[in-house]
Structure formats: C-alpha cells, structure tokens
Amino acid sequence: MESSAAALDAAAECISRARYVVALTGAGLSVESGIPPFRGPGGLWTKHGEPPMDGYQRFLRDPRAVWEERLNPSGPMRELWQALAEARPNPGHLALVELEELGILKATITQNVDNLHRLAGSGRLLEIHGNATLVRCIQCVARFGRDAIDFAELPPRCPHCEGILKSDTVSFGEPIPADVLEGCFEESERADCMIVAGTSATVYPAAQFPVSIHQRGGDLVEVNPYESEITQLCRHTLQGAAGEVLPELVERVRRR
Ligand code: APR
C-alpha cells in the first residue's frame, strides 16, 4: 500500500506550517526492526490473547517470582524480549530524528519500550511505557541501566534507598511514572500538530493525546498501513509502513 505523492505533499505542508509538532509512536514503528506488534496482523496479543491486566499487583505481591520470570521468560514474552535484544533502529526512527534536527519535531512520545528511539538519537523523548533496558525503584523512582544492578539477590534493591527495583517497563495496572507523564502532557498541550505513527491508539493515557490535540483544533498526521482508533480524526492519513513513509515525508518537509 503506497501513500500517494499528493497525500505526502499535503501532510508535509501541514507539518511545515505547524508551530509545534510532536510525534506519538507505537509498536508498528518497530515492526521493520523485527519486533512484532501487539495487535493487528502478527500481533503478540492477537496470537496469544491480551495479558492479564494486573501485572503490577502481581509484582507487588511477589516481586521475586516476577523477576525470576523476567530473567527466564517463556511463551510470548520470550519472543518479545528476544526480538528486543536483537533490534536496531529502522529508517522510520531515523526520519523522526532528522525532523527533530530540522527543528520541526519538538518531542517524541513513544509507547515502545525497545530503546530504539534512544539508539536512533532522538533528543526530546518521553517513554510513556518505560524502557526495557532500564530498571526503576518503585520507592524513589530512580532509574538504572540493567547492567549496573546485581541480580544475585531477587528482587534487586535500589542503590539509593534500598527500595525494590522493577523493570522500567510499565506493567498493566501500574501508574505511569509521574515524571514522564508530566512531560507528555506538557508536550502534547503545546502541540498544534501530532504525527501518529504505528499505534492502534487503543491504550490510555497515550491515546488521549491525539484526541485532545484534535479537539483543540490541531492537526493529526497518521502513518499506519491499517485503520486505527483515531484514523477518523486525522487530517492526513498516510497508508503505509513507517519505515517507508516517514523518510519520504521528511524528505518533502526538508525540501520546503
Ligand atoms: N508501520 C506503521 N504501523 C504499523 C506497521 C508498520 N510497518 N505495522 C503495523 N503497524 C500498525 C498496526 O496497524 C497497528 O495499528 O501499528 C499498530 C500497532 O498497534 P499495537 O500493536 O496495539 O501497538 P501500540 O499501539 O503501540 O500498543 C500500545 O499496548 O500492550 C500495550 O504497552 C503495550 O505500548 C503498548 C500499548
């Protein structure tokens, strides 16, 4: 499915004219990096069913057991962690970095925990569902690289406050850490244009940001091979894979 040249030109015009452009990305952006999405064709949840919604409560009840599972994953999570470990940024991630370097993209809010936006070089990046390469203290919210932590004793303890450390990825039922959520609201409230790439827009609060921008009269530019929950709200819908569409879109913005 190719998005037409006219659609790309119109979307590029919209983005170039906007005062404050923010991106919201989802699992679809990393499909071309070899990471399966959750929903839609090839989705992990589509194949294995949605995970339990009480992951955080389970962690609080027995952090040791959850860590043992995390360090020796099985089933669909094994497939996901393996793909994460091998994945590298694709042209879609790099196109967003270029748009930021052009001074047009002001921030990227990602639902992805795969660290690929950081590896690609995104500057202002808000990882609303956390980052799988980090651990976070559930007491003082300090974050550490996983390799900085000793996993001999489970659950691992925070070097700052002795609190329990968990993976930084936000579990179902876990509140989004306040520092990241605040940044997401700050950026999306300033936006008059949002590029929504690779997300089904089914999970809140992330899916609320494009809806609010639309309600305030802002423009949404969607990049997705299929319909999402917010396609109807988008001024521009570029039907195609992010790894192909985003570079073409940014090329047109650069040429303006
Ligand atoms: N390029 C762009 N979009 C794509 C591509 C691609 N190559 N391939 C698939 N997509 C689209 C699908 O059409 C779908 O709309 O990406 C979207 C992926 O949707 P989800 O799998 O639901 O991913 P996401 O929206 O990020 O999920 C949100 O749900 O399970 C939780 O925490 C998890 O962060 C995740 C959240």
Residue 31 alpha carbon, nearest atom of ligand 1: 7
Per residue in 232-256, pLDDT (tens digit) is 999 999 999 999 999 999 999 999 9
Domain presence at residue 180:
yes
Query: Which residue among the candidates 93, 129, 160, 236 is catalytic per the annotation?
Result: 129
Domain presence at residue 40:
no
Predicted confidence at residue 75, as pLDDT, reads 83
Domain presence at residue 157:
no
Task: Say which CATH number the domain at 223 has.
Answer: 3.40.50.1220
Domain presence at residue 58:
no
**Domain residue limits at 123:** 1-35+88-129+176-256
Residue 206 alpha carbon, nearest atom of ligand 1: 28
Decide if 191 contacts 22 (C-beta within 8 A).
yes
CA 47 to ligand 1 centroid distance, Å: 14
Task: List the strands of the sheet with 236-238, edge to edge.
Answer: 125-127, 105-110, 21-25, 193-197, 219-223, 236-238
Domain presence at residue 159:
no
> How many domains does the chain divide into?
1
CA 38 to ligand 1 centroid distance, Å: 6
For 85, 108, 172, the CA distances from 77, given in Å and listed in that order, are 12, 26, 14
Model-wide pTM > 0.95: yes
The tokens 């179902």 sit on which residue? 172
Helix (H, G, I), strand (E, B) or coil at 235: coil
Per residue in 25-58, pLDDT (tens digit) is 999 999 999 999 999 999 999 998 988 999 999 9
Nearest residue (CA) to ligand 1, atom 8: 28
Per residue in 131-178, pLDDT (tens digit) is 999 999 999 999 999 989 999 999 999 999 999 999 999 999 999 999
Mean pLDDT of the chain: 96
Contact 200 CB / ligand 1 (< 6 Å):
yes
Burial of 206 (0-12, 13-18, 19+ CB in 10 A): buried
Q: Is 129 a catalytic residue?
A: yes
CA 28 to ligand 1 centroid distance, Å: 4
Per residue in 91-130, pLDDT (tens digit) is 999 999 999 999 999 999 999 999 999 999 999 999 999 9
Domain presence at residue 14:
yes
Predicted confidence at residue 1, as pLDDT, reads 44
Neighbouring residues of 210: CB distance < 8 A, sequence distance ≥ 6: 24, 194, 196, 201, 220, 230, 233
CA 183 to ligand 1 centroid distance, Å: 22
Domain presence at residue 78:
no
Neighbouring residues of 160: CB distance < 8 A, sequence distance ≥ 6: 137, 140, 142
Domain presence at residue 59:
no
Contact 31 CB / ligand 1 (< 6 Å):
yes
Across the range 4-25, mean pLDDT stands at 97
Residue 170 alpha carbon, nearest atom of ligand 1: 32
- Please name the amino acid found at residue 209: F
